[in-house]
Amino acid sequence: MIDILMSTYNGEEFIEAQIDSILSQDLNEFRLLVRDDGSKDGTAEILRSYSLADSRVVIVKDEKGNIGPARSFLSLLKCSTSDFFMFADQDDVWLPGKISSSLRRIEELVTAGGSTRPTVFFTDLVVCDKELKTISDSFWQYQSLDPEISHDWRRLLVQNVVTGCTMIGNAAARQAALPFALEEMFHDHWVAVNVARSGIVDYDKTATVLYRQHSENAEGASAFDLGYVLKRLRQPFRRYNFYRKAGHFFDVSPNRLILSKILEGLKRLI
Domain extent at residue 170: 2-214
3-state DSSP: the chain helix, strand, coil percent, rounded to 5?
45, 15, 40
Mean pLDDT of the 45-59 span: 98
Same domain, 156 and 201: yes
pTM over 0.85: yes
Q: Is the pLDDT of residue 234 over 70?
A: no
d(CA 124, CA 163) in angstroms, rounded, equals: 8
Split into its structural domains, the chain has a count of 2
Same domain, 192 and 253: no
Same domain, 249 and 205: no
Residues in the chain: 270
Query: Could you tell me the CATH number of the domain that includes residue 63?
Result: 3.90.550.10
Same domain, 123 and 250: no
Reported as a pLDDT band with limits 50, 70 and 90, residue 32 is: very high
User: What per-residue confidence (pLDDT) applies to 268?
Assistant: 72
Neighbours of 168 (CB within 10 A): 26
Alpha helical stretches, state H, 170-253: 171-177, 187-198, 226-231, 235-238, 240-250
Same domain, 98 and 143: yes
d(CA 210, CA 135) in angstroms, rounded, equals: 10
Mean pLDDT of the 19-31 span: 97
Round the average pLDDT of the chain to a whole number and report it.
92
Q: Is the pLDDT of residue 140 over 70?
A: yes
Highest mean predicted confidence (pLDDT) among 2-6, 179-183, 260-264: 2-6
Q: Domain boundary residue among 175, 198, 214?
A: 214
User: What per-residue confidence (pLDDT) applies to 259?
Assistant: 85
Q: Is the pLDDT of residue 218 over 80?
A: no
User: What per-residue confidence (pLDDT) applies to 237?
Assistant: 60
Same domain, 168 and 265: no
d(CA 120, CA 103) in angstroms, rounded, equals: 11
Reported as a pLDDT band with limits 50, 70 and 90, residue 241 is: confident
Q: Domain boundary residue among 169, 187, 214?
A: 214
Residue with the bigger pLDDT between 70 and 221: it is 70
Same domain, 37 and 68: yes
Same domain, 133 and 256: no
Q: Is the pLDDT of residue 137 over 60?
A: yes
Same domain, 147 and 230: no
Same domain, 197 and 234: no
Q: Is the pLDDT of residue 9 over 70?
A: yes
Neighbours of 115 (CB within 10 A): 11
User: What per-residue confidence (pLDDT) applies to 260?
Assistant: 83
How do residues 151-171 score in pLDDT, each as one tens digit? 999 999 999 999 999 999 999
Same domain, 153 and 235: no
Reported as a pLDDT band with limits 50, 70 and 90, residue 219 is: low
Same domain, 227 and 195: no
User: What per-residue confidence (pLDDT) applies to 243?
Assistant: 86
Mean pLDDT of the 212-238 span: 61
Residue with the bigger pLDDT between 11 and 259: it is 11
Q: Domain boundary residue among 197, 214, 231?
A: 214
How do residues 77-134 score in pLDDT, each as one tens digit? 999 999 999 999 999 999 999 999 999 999 999 999 999 999 999 999 999 999 999 9
